[in-house]
């Protein structure tokens, strides 16, 4: 079941309403996930099998913005599911400083919606010249990044016209999960029900619209999680900042306790993404401290955690923790959309942003 595009209150003109493109692309995500599982999975498995045969000793991940958050998710997958060391690259070491590390037998995965940013292309080319196995994960098979990489995975999200990335993010997450599963010889069974579950989550957008009233006049937000949920916290903060212009700071729950907790008080809105699993268990002491400080705590997670918070959005239960981020971000995308509309802004075209950011 795919969610239907949702409408701001009182809006009748679908062709000109603010946010219509972002709304439509959010609603397309169940179909995109299904397309990856039905059409993309065989190619992803073939790439994973070929790379696994070369037995890379280390994995480096590269991305910018939303794709950097997807890369961070893949880092957790590699370290937890494969037991291999993984790291996030600093592209300026090669593009600005000209460093030439020895990347023999390393797998370098570059994640990018467009595959067009010059620094991503340059750093991937440099990695390949330094002996790395290079894999591009993009939404554009004809991109410069795909061309300079030895391997490529197309996330099959289709054209994305709204400036805030939504469907390409969840497509990247699913493609990366299936790739890591393929590296270890798995079948990706944990992802099988995601299209239907995503549709069910998106169909509850009225709940998010009500939740958005809490943040219409917010001056700042803190977003926290741990484990697989931490990339979701980072991506949610990015979506809220680029659409609503509200400063939103993401923290690992552990880092939040090391000082920044002092800025949280009884008027500071905090959004906690609480995974159902070990990440949620690790976050529990942080939730207890936040409640002790009287924070306005909103939880995205399991029903019991939502019931113990000021408000929240309950996610479907029984989903393996490693794929929960694909569902966790959906109500937070809706939240960014709804808060932006409530503040009288257009989430399709945030100020000062371009779809392809050409960093060097």
Catalytic residues: 355
What is the number of alpha carbons within 13 Å of residue 164 lying toward its C-beta? 33
CA angle 82, 287, 265 (to 5 degrees): 135
Task: For residue 331, count other CB atoms closer than 10 A to its CB.
Answer: 24
CB contact set of 238 (below 8 Å; sequence gap of 6+) = 65, 66, 69, 248
Cβ-proximal residues to 9 (8 Å cutoff; 6+ apart), any chain: 209
Backbone φ, ψ for residue 224 (5° rounding): -140, 155
CA 132 – CA 149 distance, rounded (Å): 10
Alpha-carbon distance of 230 to 328, in angstroms, equals 11
| Backbone angles phi and psi of 204, in degrees to 5 | -100, 30
């Amino acid at each position: 079941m795919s969610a239907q595009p949702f409408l701001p209150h009182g809006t009748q003109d679908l062709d000109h309403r603010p946010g219509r493109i972002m709304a439509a692309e959010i609603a397309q995500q169940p179909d995109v996930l299904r397309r990856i599982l039905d059409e993309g999975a065989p190619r992803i498995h073939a790439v994973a099998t070929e790379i696994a045969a070369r037995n890379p000793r280390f994995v480096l991940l590269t991305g910018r913005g939303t794709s950097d958050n997807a890369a961070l998710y893949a880092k957790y997958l590699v370290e937890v599911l494969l037991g291999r060391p993984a790291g996030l690259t600093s592209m300026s070491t090669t593009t600005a400083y000209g460093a030439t590390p020895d990347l023999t037998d390393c797998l370098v995965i570059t994640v990018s919606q467009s595959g067009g940013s010059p620094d991503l292309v340059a750093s991937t080319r440099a990695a390949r010249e330094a002996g790395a196995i290079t894999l591009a994960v993009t939404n554009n098979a004809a991109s410069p990044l795909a061309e300079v990489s030895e391997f490529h995975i197309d996330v099959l999200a289709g054209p994305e016209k709204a400036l805030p990335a939504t469907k390409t993010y969840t497509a990247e997450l699913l493609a990366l999960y299936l790739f890591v599963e393929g590296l270890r010889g798995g079948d990706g069974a944990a992802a099988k029900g995601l299209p239907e579950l995503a549709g069910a989550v998106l169909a509850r957008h009225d709940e998010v619209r009500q939740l958005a009233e809490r943040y219409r006049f917010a001056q700042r937000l803190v977003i926290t999680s741990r484990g697989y949920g931490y990339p979701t916290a980072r991506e949610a903060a990015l979506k809220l900042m680029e659409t609503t212009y509200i400063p939103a700071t993401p923290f690992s729950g552990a880092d939040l306790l090391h000082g920044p907790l002092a800025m949280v008080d009884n008027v500071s809105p905090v959004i906690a993404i609480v995974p159902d699993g070990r990440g949620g268990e690790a976050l529990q002491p942080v939730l207890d401290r936040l409640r002790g400080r009287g924070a306005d705590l909103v939880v995205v997670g399991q029903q019991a955690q939502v019931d113990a918070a000021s408000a929240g959005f309950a996610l479907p239960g029984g989903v393996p923790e490693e794929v929960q981020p694909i569902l966790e971000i959906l109500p937070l995308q809706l939240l960014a959309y709804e808060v932006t509309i409530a503040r009288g802004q257009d989430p399709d075209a945030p100020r000062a942003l371009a779809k392809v950011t050409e960093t060097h």
